[in-house]
Structure 1
Amino acid sequence: MTDHVLSLSSSIPTLLETKSDYCRLRIRFNHLSRERRLLTCLLILFAIIMFGLLIGIFILSWTFQGRTPIIYREINSTNIGTSDGVIQRNERQLLTSIINIKPTLSTNIIDTTFMTTTTIQLTTNTEKQLARYGESCDNDSGCERPFICHKKGTSTPGMCRCPLKYDFIRDQCVGDLNALCTKDTDCQQYMLCMGMNDGTRQCQCQKQFEYDNPRRRCRGDYQAPCESNIDCRANLVCNKTITPSVCSCESHYQYHPSVRKCRGDPGAVCDRATAECVDNAECRDGACECSHQFVPDDNKICVDPCPSQVPNPARIRYPGNCRRFIDCQQKSKTECPEMTIFNLRTQLCDYPKNVFDCR
């Protein structure tokens, strides 16, 4: 009895201290502002809710130990594209089931005792893959976009090709001149998708470029941007010594703005198929040469040396060449045989010993 009284008397100071601490906390709380008191109450409420959630999770874990909830929802049938075909997925009505999972030595067996519906079904559609460029087809729907099925007859299978006025370049269909388009990238290099007067949009060469029919591409004019010589028109080369590179005239060629072309000076290397020599000159034996009676002057221009006053000689000596002479009446140039030179006095080819004004 005495021990009980002693223990009770010893606990009285502890209770008094606890009450004293509570009073101090209450006084401090009352001294807080209204906003801080509200915030303190919210924090205490939040702590109580979180503590209740933890208890709920613990109870659920203990109740459904070894079982997993599965939820299904109903969605319209959808197609999922894969490299092997098309997979169709059907998901059933909304429900919650419990599946007992029992491990075995080699696999996991699913006990469907608690399930009230079937699981997700996956069925593989064995439809044939769409054909790409160069592959056989029966109609346009059998080809990947933008390819179309090109058939020569109704009884034979066709082949997937690019649409009209489109070429297969770098693994894609690229629009040629006047091809219908929706954006610039539908057209080939140096072309833009432009609006036409009929309301359509077609591929057209951009500024400073002209269409080259034999090569079926837009080629640049003088000073047009380029990447290689094929990007430039005839007698132009891609000058890569400057940045960015542009089309410039070839060696011994000069640009003539009046005709927007580079023309070869007398002596410039040329090709008869694409020859562009200066006025009164023509491509002969692989080089630009003044035609008829014309001769090049110091400015590399072909001029007529025949005098205009009357009377004038029928023949004159070719400038700087004793063997050659110009027939002003026939408008031609001729060269004397070997061991002879032109005699201006006799108007004939003669031995050098008889000609004193040219050596």
Structure 2
Amino acid sequence: MKGKQWFPVLSLALVLSVVLAGCAPATPQPQPTAAPPTAEAKPTPVPPTPTPAPKPTAVPPTATPVPKPTAAPTKSPKEMVIGVSLDKLFLGRQAEMAGVRKAAEELGVKLLELVADNDPQLQNTQIESFITQGVDAIMIVAVDNTAILTAIDKAEAAGIPVVTFDRKVDHDWIAYHSGLDSYADGKACGEYVKSLNDGKPHLVLNLLGALNDDNAIQRRDGFEDALKSETNLTIIQEPTDWNADKALNAVTNVLTAHPDLWAIEVPSDFMQDSIKTAIQEAGKLHVAGEPGHIIVCTIDGAEPGYRATVEGWTDAVVALPLFDLGRAALENMVLVIQGGTPKVKDQRFPGTLYTYKNAAQNADKIWGATFK
């Protein structure tokens, strides 16, 4: 009996242990960390040698290609029209214009000429008419070197080039000036008078041109600078404004006040006949070398000056190269129209002095001997 009683007890204990074990919370067990798998090394791929891409084939344009811009063609002289504005058409200006016209004829240039008759306002109006007509360029001999600036301003605004000749004008738009070396011409007369100075006290009359003209100023200064060292000479000035009647009155008045007048400088020989009249009426007309002769030196080389020098009552004449001056003005005007630049912007042409002893032998070099 005793053996049968233990079996139920053991069985019950076993059941209880199983039940309790199932009811107790399970203690989590750490799971083993899996070792990372060893990666299998893959071979580095060798890049294939690239096949060069074919160069693109240029597709011809369907439109006609636009040509590169080229410079405007140079205008031929035969296509040019140049306006010429003159102050007054006296002998000297006619000689300059002979040079202008000759060069224009040779090149085939057409000239439009207007004369202002010494009226500055009229000259400005005439230049404005050239601008309105659309000339290729304008050449000017100014009546007044200040009043003309307004007209040149208008030419600049219109883009029309300007060249001056004979009378210099200060304006940046002027492309070239063909002028006389009036300082050298005045100085040549002064040096001649100086060569005859005997050291005694003498009175010298310096007649002046119009002082709105650079030529008049330069002739005055050149003459007087040449005589600065001659302390025995007294120089007096008398204005003429390029007027022969004023020159006549000036010489007459000086001879009345100073009968012992020793020498006269004449700034332009177009007034030579008036000077002769004044001297003759004063009873002082004698040829060079005679007692009582008044030394006279004149500038230009016009027919009156040439004739007076050959006659001998005028001692010397400074003959100006007027044909060359006019030609240079025209030729450089053409150069400027074609876009060129003159080698010298302010070109001067000095005269040559001839005396009563050699003027006739050099008539071919004195423009007034043949141009009348």
TM-score of the superposed pair, with normalisation by structure 2:
0.20
Q: Greater helix percent: which structure?
A: 2
* Greater relative contact order, per chain length (Cα 8 Å cut-off, separation 6+): 2
